Structure 1
Amino acid sequence: MGNVFQGVGFAYSRPLYWQGDDFIKLGGVAAVTGGLLFVDGDIRDIARDTKDDVPEILLDYGYYAGAPQNNYGAMGAVYLTGLFTKNEKLRRTGVLLISSATATGFLQQLTKSLAGRARPGKELGRNHFKPFGGSAGYRSFPSGHAVLTFTNAHVIAKQFKNPWVKAGIYTVGVIPGLSRIYDDQHWASDVFLSWAMSYFMVEAIDLYLDRKYAEKYNQTPKKTSLDFSFSMQHIGVSYTF
């Protein structure tokens, strides 16, 4: 738990150390979020028109997968499995899951309270904000379900090298966020910002955990060799990496 809370603090302190490229990334996220704000209403209309075509199981999965109690139960199981099997990589993954979810979860709760954006279902429009609105109807920006599930997806995807496996994991990870748009609980800009928050929080805490754990997923020793071969017919050079 010490690593969990220190990882959260480390992630929150990163803006103090940002440099040029980091501000470019921040600008990119702000630009895309702002762009989506202008078309939130159009995206909502498309979602409402096509909702009947979406399998109900996907909408149900999106709701239950993003529930905090389900997330923390699964994340705790990952850490305990690593603890009892003495698998340091699995323990590190568990800590990364818990600390990233905690960091993003607290930040999104604070942000949605400060912003007080009305949910689509309140029929007040995409530009209606009531800071410190308090009621659930004014807690749209960003999405808690999207934050938690994409955080998990990004952490788990980092365990694999195969791009197809990664793509599958990310696909599953974005379903809850999309389902919240179809359920008329969040705007598209809410969901995108949630995904961006999750990504950067995981990356920051993963950097911190490099200092705490000797072993890391996908960490294999690099073996390089340079060999020469000679014969009457050829001269060869072989470089293995």
Structure 2
Amino acid sequence: MRLIKYFTLVLLTTTMTGQELQSQKEKNLWNDFTYDIGNVFGGVGYSYSRPFHWKGNDWANFGYLTGGTLLLFTVDDEFIDWKNGFEQDVPDLIKDYGNKYGAPENNYMLTGGVYLAGLFTKNEKLRRTGVLLISSATAGGFLQQVSKRIIGRARPKSGASSATFDPLHLDRVYDYDSFPSGHAMLAFSNAYAIAKQFKSPWVKGALYTVGMIPGLVRVIDDFHWISDVAFSTVLSIFIVESIDKYLDSKYDEKYNDQKPKNVSWNLSFGPNTLGVSLHF
């Protein structure tokens, strides 16, 4: 009987030791990398599938977004005329930042840098942030490239009005690829995702402000209408939120574990009201 207990103890000890070694073996750089890349594509797919799962409030927010965009559409030309009065007063530094930061190549340098820092330092929270940044940029970037070709809206610098369209092209038609704004979408996606790391509303507000600069600069430089930028900014929030929800089930590390669970974004739209509100 003692012999049986002895062999049972040895077997259990060997099994537990083997499991521990296997667990340590699995926690290597390559496995973390492949796991994260899988979550990047999983997050993109999850964000694209969300409209099939929307409920009443989700459709209401999408309706507000559509209605708000159409409302701004009616004043696009007037806004371009208005901004021409102070365009020359905007510092070149702000313009350079706005035009270069939102470009895809620079965007992926930032997002990739954040992710690699988390990967090599074995910081799961930073890894997750990098995955959120990359997947949000990929989802938004692909969506806006396809939308540009389908919609074919004229840019302000083309000289055409905001209601001019040349839709349904497989190839990109320059000067007719205004809607939506890729710079605004990529820049604000980054700002919104990074702001999730902080609890302070002042830090969040500062990051949101910096994230909106590229979109506004693109309006000032006649690359986009204000409705392009507004739509792209709000859409980037939807994308980041959906992917972040997906990543909750993939990583143990959460953002600000003590934050309220009922944090939500809502759009408000009325005869004299258009806005985005954060409830917490």
Q: Tell me the SS of whatever aligns to 1:138.
A: coil
Sequence identity (%): 56
- Which residue does the alignment assign to 2:68? 32
Q: Give 1:46 deviation, angstroms.
A: 1.2
Stretches of 4+ aligned residues off by more than 6 angstroms: none
- Which residue does the alignment assign to 1:168? 206
- Which residue does the alignment assign to 2:187? 149
Residues 76, 53 of structure 1: CA spacing in aligned structure 2 closer, same or farther, 3 A cutoff? same
Q: Give 1:132 deviation, angstroms.
A: 2.8
- Which residue does the alignment assign to 2:111? 75
Asked if 1:131 corresponds to 2:167, the answer is yes
The count of corresponding residues between Structure 1 and Structure 2 is 222
Tell me the distance in 1 between the aligned counterparts of 2:259 and 2:241.
22
Tell me the distance in 2 between the aligned counterparts of 1:221 and 1:112.
38
Q: Give 1:220 deviation, angstroms.
A: 4.3
Tell me the distance in 2 between the aligned counterparts of 1:17 and 1:221.
26
Q: Render the CA deviation track for 1:152-195: whole Å, top value 9, x for unaligned.
A: 01001111110000010000000000000000000000001110
Q: Give 1:22 deviation, angstroms.
A: 0.4
Gaps of 5+ in 1: 223-241
The worse-fitting range, judged by mean Cα deviation, of 98-107 and 52-61 is 52-61
Q: Give 1:124 deviation, angstroms.
A: 1.1
- Are the aligned partners of 2:149 and 2:173 in contact in 1 as well (CA < 8 Å)? no
Q: Tell me the SS of whatever aligns to 2:98.
A: helix
TM-score, normalised on structure 2?
0.78
Q: Render the CA deviation track for 1:31-77: whole Å, top value 9, x for unaligned.
A: 11000000001110111111011111111100110111111011111
Task: Select 2:253's aligned residue among 212, 215, 235.
Answer: 215
- Which residue does the alignment assign to 2:218? 180
- Which residue does the alignment assign to 1:48? 84
Q: Give 1:135 deviation, angstroms.
A: 1.6
Tell me the distance in 1 between the aligned counterparts of 2:255 and 2:60.
29
Tell me the distance in 1 between the aligned counterparts of 2:146 and 2:230.
17
TM-score, normalised on structure 1?
0.90
Tell me the distance in 1 between the aligned counterparts of 2:249 and 2:92.
44
Tell me the distance in 2 between the aligned counterparts of 1:181 and 1:221.
35
Gaps of 5+ in 2: 1-36, 261-280
Q: CA RMSD in A?
A: 1.2
- Are the aligned partners of 2:152 and 2:178 in contact in 1 as well (CA < 8 Å)? yes
Corresponding letter in the other structure for 2:38: G
Tell me the distance in 2 between the aligned counterparts of 1:55 and 1:132.
37
Tell me the distance in 2 between the aligned counterparts of 1:53 and 1:216.
43
